[in-house]
Chain A
Amino acid sequence: DIQMTQSPSTLSASVGDRVTITCRASQSISSWLAWYQQKPGKAPKVLISEATNLQRGVPSRFSGSGSGTEFTLTISSLQPEDFATYYCQQYNTYRWTFGQGTKVEIK
């Protein structure tokens, strides 16, 4: 199975900071990567699909980049509602896999 490795596992940041989360795939997944945001007690919500495609209704401060094996999720100016856990997920093959998650905490 394709392994997805996120870094960092935890990130402490302040409101207004630029935040970057990295996701690496154990083999090429082209652009078949999604990013999800999960808040405590809630279901995940998709932010970005196909590595760079911002979902409808998601604020433009979120952006995704990358292809092949290296991907990033960037939040250009962190807002209070962005403190959450973020997961990447590959869907290049039907055995989908998630990264282990990155928790964005208040500094």
Chain B
Amino acid sequence: EVQLVQSEAEVREPGQSLKISCKASGYSFSNYWIGWVRQMPGKGLEWMGIIYPDDSDTRYSPSVQGQVTMSADKSTSTAYLQWSSLKASDTGMYYCARNFGDGLLSHLGYWGQGSLVTVSS
């Protein structure tokens, strides 16, 4: 059974760094793209980017390019999303989701439970 388990809720102050995780199981981690989707409070879904764990090929949405870094650790089957300097506007729920198929152009067939990030002074 494919499972994506995300890290717990985090609270940080503006300017601090953060790395959240998405641990995968039940399939060959290296061979499926994993994407990140954010949802600001009370708002819709926004695609942030996607990473291919086998070679760390990463594609970012223009809206987050340079603001976040996506990475993947094949040894632990874990994908990461990190910020070096958080802003209050980064507050929201962040979901990891795996492509259903093994190609880049596929719908998101499996989702993590979400990681709530709160940035407040």
Within 8 A of A (CB), among B1-40: 35, 37
Contact at B108–A46, with CB atoms within 8 Å?
Answer: yes
- Which of B45, B47, B106, B113 has most chain A Cβ within 10 Å? B45
Cα A101 to Cα B40 in complex, Å, equals 13
A-side binding surface: helix, strand, loop or mixed? loop
Of chain B, the residue at the smallest CB distance from A102 is B44
Known: A1-B62, A94-B50, A95-B61. A49 touches B45 (CB 8 A): no
B95:A92 contact, CB within 8 angstroms:
no
Give the residues in chain B near A38, CB-CB below 8 Å. 45
Q: Give B63-98 as 1s and 0s: 1 = Cβ < 8 Å from A's Cβ atoms.
A: 000000000000000000000000000000001010
Do A94 and B45 touch across chains, with their CB atoms under 8 A apart? no
Contact flags (1/0) for B93-112 with A, using CB distance below 8 Å? Answer: 00101001000111111011
Q: What separation, in Å, do the CA atoms of A87 and B95 have in the docked complex?
A: 15
- Tell me the minimal C-beta distance from B73 to chain A in angstroms: 22
Asked if B44 and A98 sit within 8 Å, CB to CB, the answer is yes
CB of A43 within 8 A of CB of B111, answer yes
Check if B105 sits within 8 Å of A32, measured CB to CB: yes
A88, B112: Cα distance in complex, Å:
19
| Chain B residues close to A by CB (< 8 Å) | 35, 37, 44-47, 50, 59, 61-62, 95, 97, 100, 104-109, 111-114
15 pairs across A/B with beta carbons < 8 Å?
A: A36-B108, A38-B45, A45-B111, A46-B100, A49-B107, A85-B44, A87-B44, A87-B45, A89-B107, A91-B107, A93-B105, A94-B59, A95-B59, A100-B44, A101-B45
Known contacts A44-B37, A49-B107; 11 additional CB pairs below 8 A are: A38-B45, A44-B97, A44-B108, A44-B111, A45-B111, A91-B105, A92-B105, A95-B59, A96-B47, A98-B44, A98-B47
